[in-house]
Amino acid sequence: MNFLHIFALARKEFLALMRDKRSRIIIIVPPILQLFIFGFAATYDLNDVPVAVYNEDSGGASREMLARIEGSPHFSVLHEISNDDEIAPLIDNRKVLLVIRLDQRFSANLQRGDPAPLQLIIDGRNSNTAMTALNYLRDVVLDFNREWQREHGQTGPPVKLEMRAWYNENLQSQWFIVPGIVGSLMLVVTLLVTTLSVAREREQGTFDQLLVTPLRPVEILIGKAIPGIVIGLLEATLIILLMVWFFDIPLRGSIPALYLGILLFLVATVGVGLMISSICVTQQQAILGAFLFIVPAVILSGFTTPIANMPEVVQWLTYLDPLRYFLVIVRGVTLEGDGFALLLHQFWPMAIIGAVTLVLAAWLFRHRMS
Amino acid sequence: MRASLRRLWGMIRKESLQILRDPSSISIAFIMPVVLLLLFGYGVSLDAKNIPLGIVIEQPDTAAQSLAGAFDRSEFFHPQRFAAIQEAQQALIERRIDGILWLRNDFSSRLLSGDEAPIGVFVNGVDSNQANITKGYIQGTWLAWLQHFSAARGRALDLPVSMEQRVWFNPALSSHLFLVPGLIAIIMTMIGSLLTAMVVAREWERGTMEALMVTPLRMGEMLIGKLIPYFMLGMGGMLLSVAMALFLFNVPLLSPIWLLMLCSALFMLVSLAIGLLISIVTRNQFLAGQVALVVSFLPSFLLSGFLFDIHSMPGWVQTITYLVPARYFVAILQTLFLAGPVWPVVLANAGAMLFMLLILATLVVKKSYKRLD
């Protein structure tokens, strides 16, 4: 193996990539744009859920209850209705997510110590939104109950829950999603850069010219792998800086561990990219191939929905996905404050994926050339 | 008129043959929907079950055991016992469990003396949505146990206000009932915008577009002739997706199928127009693929209300979502499948798509006069 050969090829790759204005823009602008748009858009938190109130009670307790709901940042009361017939149109047309109904005896029942139900009708079309809204409302009701019982000298429920969330103390979606965006953006950029660098030369016929140079196939492979890894490293650094400075995501753990994770993830991704490009002949096939890997890899990685909720067979599939391990590392280092020891079991699977895909890619290259 | 129709027919035939002979287009239209629906349908779920929960009971007596038993029996939890809180916390740190329920050794004595007995609950908050759901399930299980516990001791549980909820359209709150209909929008976006953009861009790149220009074919005929085969391809993919949603994922369709087809056809036209516009502007496969990915696929995934609630996004992001056609189609799909034909929702969103279609069509026609450069 001749390092000078590899260096020369890698240099040529960088120049080819950087000279082309379009590739330059595509490496830098879309990822940053996506970080900002998706960093703000992708949230499971609910603010200002539109609510309609149907209050048949004139007592003080119902007003107190409603004031608490209105005071919560999660709800905003848009309509006050006084008729059963008004409920269906509001919910069907998505004017409100939730109708809260207090019947005539709400305050009276409460005073007498009888059960006073808060009747809720909720739009379940988006089940997650409905469930989250109900959870927020349950917190409001439990607070109300506690206060009411204290003021009226009643004993509360015999057992109470003291809840605490670790790592993401205020349970903000952004803290979960933004580190995930780092991983998926790195995957997209690195994979496209690597796959297309080979496919373009194939389509233009310059790959054959590379083959008649003194470069050996392994040297070509490594030379083609280096730009993806270097660009991925720079891109990762940029996005992580933005994540910490702009989105205020904490970086509590070991930065060397994070970078070891980044490096292994990039090697695995580049391996996959080279494997795809050794199969594809045209650029179109290469883009489709990259896409056919990216979509499942992002979905099965636990980026937006938990792996634990998937059926078992699908969960086995996720073990082949390098992004799965990398997301644990990014979230571990940023939020959980992890170091090398706790992340050990995320490092070695990526190393194996990288080694296997690179060897396969080398074999495919040689196989195709002969 | 007749000559025009004959030219159009020739163009459609040529395009159809081209699609039929290129296995990659057919596979995108028919294999990709199947793969994607299976992948999303099974892979994307927000329904937590068997949450690994650590339970620490410092003093195992009847009350503590009965509370822990309530968690053992719940389908939402997969409890594990730990002898000491430190062990459980270590397991939480190592991500072996997602939450801890901690009954301290004075739990029962405080419970029996009428004092408020506290239970310590820790959840891993990294995945905030999952943590919220876990919190909700823990509270639910706790409330049910309280009721049972009070009833067993001969008095009703004293809860001043209780929630009585009725969930419309999706009473079991299962997430695949809203994710699977939304997926149809994503799959159609991919066929309509991504595939069309790349295939037409390839013609520009290879110069076959110029070959078409020297024929007597008019520009309008050329565009329509190009679109019809891809339109059929996209509608085929859509029907396949609907069939899978109904029969594989058991999503109910509470509206007449013709209405669904009509709205889908409108959305398909909008996607095709976007794909065509991208190919005309870029005239390059690599760029067309990239642009289609960034302006059509990712927004329809993240900004359409398919997964994330639009209402909770910051104002400026909400403004951007009005430019995403999938936003209107996802609203129609979720309503048509789960709620039935609610005309104000259907008409308002279909109107918005029609408006987009007119603007896009004008742009396509303006940008695509016959020219060589």
Averaged pLDDT for residues A71-84: 91
CB contact under 8 A, B160 and A149: yes
How sure is the predictor about B156, in pLDDT bands with cuts at 50, 70 and 90? low
CB contact under 8 A, A335 and B344: no
CB contact under 8 A, B116 and A110: no
**Of all residues in chain A, what percent carry a pLDDT higher than 90?**
42
- In angstroms, rounded to a whole number, what is the distance separating the alpha carbons of residues A139 and A134? 9
Cβ-proximal residues to B255 (8 Å cutoff; 6+ apart), any chain: B336, B337, B340, B341
Q: How far is B348 from chain A (nearest CA, A)?
A: 10
- Whether the per-residue pLDDT at B24 is higher than 70: the answer is no
Q: Which of A87, A95, A127 to mutate to test the interface with B (most CBs of B within 10 A)?
A: A127
- In angstroms, rounded to a whole number, what is the distance separating the alpha carbons of residues B174 and B189? 25
Q: Across chain A, which distance is largest between two alpha carbons, in Å? A: 94
CB contact under 8 A, A40 and B317: yes
CB contact under 8 A, B168 and A192: no
Averaged pLDDT for residues B70-94: 92
**Of all residues in chain A, what percent carry a pLDDT higher than 70?**
99
CB contact under 8 A, A144 and B142: no
CB contact under 8 A, B132 and A135: yes
Q: Which of A92, A116, A168 sits opposite B126 (nearest CB)?
A: A168
Number of CB pairs, chain A paired with chain B, less than 8 A apart: 305
- In angstroms, rounded to a whole number, what is the distance separating the alpha carbons of residues A197 and A225? 10
C-beta of residue B66 within 8 angstroms of C-beta of residue B145? yes
Quick check: A328 contacting B, CB < 8 Å?
yes
Range in A146-155, A357-366, B133-142 with the lowest mean pLDDT:
A146-155
pLDDT value at position B218?
75
CB contact under 8 A, A138 and B136: yes
Instruction: Spell out which residues of chain A touch residue B36, defining contact as CB-CB under 8 Å.
Output: 295
Q: How far is B217 from chain A (nearest CA, A)?
A: 27
pLDDT digits (tens, 9 = 90+) for B237-266: 889 899 999 999 999 999 999 999 999 999
Average pLDDT of chain A to the nearest whole number: 88
**What are the domain boundaries of chain A?**
3-42+172-369, 49-151
Q: Which of B131, B173, B302 sits opposite A127 (nearest CB)?
A: B173
Residue spans of beta strands (DSSP E) within chain B = 51-57, 77-82, 99-103, 117-124, 161-168
Cα separation values, B65 from B62, B108, B121, Å: 5, 10, 16
Range in A148-157, A318-327, A346-355, A357-366 with the lowest mean pLDDT:
A148-157
Averaged pLDDT for residues B30-47: 81
Instruction: Spell out which residues of chain B touch residue A41, defining contact as CB-CB under 8 Å.
Output: 302-303, 308, 313, 317, 320-321
* Helix B176-189 with B257-282: angle, nearest 10 deg: 40
Residue of chain A whose alpha carbon sits nearest to that of B110: A158
Higher pLDDT, A366 or B92: B92
Averaged pLDDT for residues A38-61: 88
How sure is the predictor about B333, in pLDDT bands with cuts at 50, 70 and 90? very high
A 100-119 residues with CB < 8 A to B: 110, 113, 115-119
Cα separation values, B188 from A153, A319, A336, A350, B191, Å: 61, 29, 39, 34, 5
Q: Which tokens in the block code for residue B133?
A: 């759901």
Residue of chain A whose alpha carbon sits nearest to that of B305: A126
- Whether the per-residue pLDDT at A212 is higher than 90: the answer is no
Q: How far is B370 from chain A (nearest CA, A)?
A: 25
Q: How far is A352 from chain B (nearest CA, A)?
A: 22
For residue B322, the one-letter residue type is Y
Instruction: Spell out which residues of chain A touch residue B281, defining contact as CB-CB under 8 Å.
Output: none
How sure is the predictor about A368, in pLDDT bands with cuts at 50, 70 and 90? low
Backbone angles phi, psi at A166, to 5 degrees: -90, 155
DSSP B158: -
Range in B22-31, B63-72, B120-129, B273-282 with the lowest mean pLDDT:
B22-31
- Whether the per-residue pLDDT at B372 is higher than 60: the answer is no
Quick check: A345 contacting B, CB < 8 Å?
no
Averaged pLDDT for residues B200-208: 79
Q: Which of A46, A116, A300 sits opposite B161 (nearest CB)?
A: A116
pLDDT value at position A370?
47
- Whether the per-residue pLDDT at A213 is higher than 60: the answer is yes
- Whether the per-residue pLDDT at B96 is higher than 80: the answer is yes
Instruction: Spell out which residues of chain A touch residue B146, defining contact as CB-CB under 8 Å.
Output: 157-159
**Of all residues in chain B, what percent carry a pLDDT higher than 90?**
32
C-beta of residue B313 within 8 angstroms of C-beta of residue A42? no
pLDDT digits (tens, 9 = 90+) for A126-172: 888 998 999 899 989 988 988 888 888 777 777 778 888 899 988 88
Averaged pLDDT for residues B118-126: 91
- Whether the per-residue pLDDT at B369 is higher than 70: the answer is no
CB contact under 8 A, B198 and A176: no
- In angstroms, rounded to a whole number, what is the distance separating the alpha carbons of residues A332 and A258? 9
Assigned CATH topology for domain A49-151: abc type-2 transporter like fold (3.40.1710)
pLDDT digits (tens, 9 = 90+) for B291-313: 887 788 778 888 898 888 888 88
pLDDT value at position B157?
66
pLDDT digits (tens, 9 = 90+) for A276-292: 988 887 777 788 788 88
How sure is the predictor about A202, in pLDDT bands with cuts at 50, 70 and 90? confident
pLDDT value at position B370?
54
pLDDT value at position A116?
87
Backbone angles phi, psi at A115, to 5 degrees: -65, 130
Cα separation values, A169 from A6, B123, B126, Å: 48, 10, 9
- In angstroms, rounded to a whole number, what is the distance separating the alpha carbons of residues B224 and B370? 15
Instruction: Spell out which residues of chain B touch residue A110, defining contact as CB-CB under 8 Å.
Output: 160-161
pLDDT value at position B137?
92
pLDDT value at position A369?
57
Averaged pLDDT for residues A316-322: 94
Higher pLDDT, A99 or A309: A99
- In angstroms, rounded to a whole number, what is the distance separating the alpha carbons of residues A163 and B284? 55
Which of helix, strand or coil describes residue B119? strand
Average pLDDT of chain B to the nearest whole number: 86
Q: Which tokens in the block code for residue A337?
A: 């404050």
A 38-77 residues with CB < 8 A to B: 38, 40-50, 65
